[in-house]
Structure 1
Amino acid sequence: MTTFRHVQLSPARNAAGLVALTSLESLPPLLQRRARERLWSRHVFVYITPPKRLVAQALEGYPEEVQRLARTVAFYRNDDRSGGGYWPERNEIWLAAGVEPYERYLQARASARHELFHHLARAHPFYQEDEDAGWPRLVAALEEAQPVARDHSRYAEWIERSFLPQRDHANVVEYFADIPTNFPDVSELPAPIAEHFAPLISGGPRPAPRRAGRVDPRDLPAFWDLIRP
């Protein structure tokens, strides 16, 4: 459960903490785990990437429009060890301040990127329109991609080994945020999916109009069958 208690460190403490965290992450895995548990037993946040910096780091290399729209959501670091989320009704993202010290330094960027793409689903007019209509364009792209999905090995493996095993969490909302988070190179995606997400990933044009998809992606078993390579 998110506490919604914003935490931040002074610049001086953060600078010293980053040095300490870098040293911690150079330790062997077992010693790292022990050190992290010892820190958490004292509820210590060694280093917290400031929200504005984290947003910039998370979307470095993504299109300018994506970076601009990402700055339209309020971003906070909450007083928790892990977790976070996007609250559209509040236009806020909360990401646990414990991600860097208790998971790993770079994980904060990946976690922030995922939540930012949840926001972009609502902030980008093209994708907001599709979501409001029940994702017919995304579904059509997925239907067109089915025959060739297995030809894209990294995508197919990710669907089967990482995404689908999440069961109820493997839904269309999470799929939408996961694709641009995990596939910054559109060449790794089946062409219809790459075209659908191109404005978010590569800055490509908005995809041409498609027929509406036939599957209701809110029906989880039907959605799983749709995306399964």
Structure 2
Amino acid sequence: MPGSRAMLVLAERLPAEPLASMRRSWWEKRRYIYVTPGEELVERALRGFPDDVRALAGRCRIIRTDARGGGGFYSDRNEIELAAGVETYEGLRQVELSACHELFHYVCWNDTRYRADEDQGFPYLRRAVRESRKLLDAFPRYKGWVTQSFLRQGDHANPVEYFADIPTNFRDTAELPGPIRAHFAPLIDGSPPPYDLAHAPDWLADPTDLATFQRWLAGGD
């Protein structure tokens, strides 16, 4: 029996244990109470981003799959799969965050500016992280997110995932250290790019191993 978005809104107002019990009951029946259509989900996930970002990411197709959780961006098909159960079992807010994260993988792959950085191994992104490592204390929300959430993902805490996570989690660029803010601001608030990402870096190549990237994120040398 199908439900509705309004039904989930009401369910999410319940205390944690009754909500968890209700979700267990739903999953026993493999129910998805409400599944946001892909086009609507794209619109919801991109609210507040600059027009050019919404226009680009708005081309991406989100396919809702028959699963409780999970999903990803598939560059070979240039589209996203996202489980139909996210709204029901993780929440209405979470489905928009999950979609936003995957849409920024699409942006990284399809925005010519940032794709150029990825194709070079993310030298500009890595340099922004390196230059921010001594600034973390002045940005407590960012520092807390990096150290208590992102870096705890192990090998998943890499430049590709970091790229998608920053616009998803930081809609206010003032919460980001200056070099990171400058790198992502064109995507978040529409500021002009601070440099030409397609231009080969004019500095000696930084290390590209994951351990160094994670050490810089944590504020180390």
TM-score by length of 1: 0.89
Map Cα deviations across residues 77-97 of structure 1 (whole Å, 9 max, x no partner). Answer: 111101110000111101111
1:92 correspondence with 2:92? no
**Which of these residues, 197, 222, 225, is aligned with residue 212 of structure 2?**
222
**How far is 1:44 from its partner?**
0.8
Counting aligned pairs with the same residue, the percent is 43
The equivalent position to 2:100 in structure 1, one of 113, 117, 121, is 113
- 8 Å contact 2:39–2:61 — kept in the other structure? no
Matched with 2:148 is 161
Q: Map Cα deviations across residues 186-229 of structure 1 (whole Å, 9 max, x no partner).
A: 00000111000011101010112564474333x11111112112
- Which residue of the partner structure matches residue 15 of structure 2? 28
Equivalent positions of 1:176-187 (< 5 A) are 176-187=163-174
Query: How many residue pairs end up in the alignment?
Result: 215
Cα separation, 2, equivalents of 1:137 and 1:202: 19
Corresponding residue SS for 1:76: strand
Give the deviation of 1:40 after TM superposition: 0.8
- Please state whether the residue corresponding to 1:72 is helix, strand or coil: coil
| Cα offset, 1:35, TM superposition | 0.5
- In structure 2, runs of 5+ residues without a counterpart are none
Structure 2 residue aligned with 1:64: 51
In structure 2, what is the equivalent of residue 5 of structure 1? none
Q: CA RMSD in A?
A: 1.6
Partner of 1:19: 6
2:194 aligns with: 207
Task: Find the aligned partners of 1:118 and 1:163 in 2 and give their Cα distance.
Answer: 16
2:184 is aligned with 1:197:
yes
1:38 maps to 2:25: yes
Residue 142 (structure 1) aligned with residue 133 (structure 2): no
Where in structure 1 are there 5+ consecutive unaligned residues? 1-8
- Cα 1:53–1:180 shift into 2, 3 Å: same
- Partner-residue secondary structure (3-state), 1:106: helix
The one-letter code matched in structure 2 to 1:123 is N
What one-letter code is carried by the residue in structure 1 that aligns with 2:164? A
Contact 1:140–1:214 at 8 Å: present in 2 too? no
Shift of 1:25: 1.2
Amino acid at match of 1:222: T
Instruction: List structure 1 segments (4+ residues) > 2 angstroms apart after TM superposition.
Output: 208-217
CA shift for structure 1 position 138: 1.0
Q: Which amino acid aligns with 2:206?
A: V
Could you tell me which residue of structure 2 aligns to residue 173 of structure 1? 160
Residue 62 of structure 2 aligns with which residue? 75
Q: Is the 8 A contact 1:140 1:211 kept in 2?
A: no
* Structure 2 residue 115 is matched with structure 1 residue 125: no
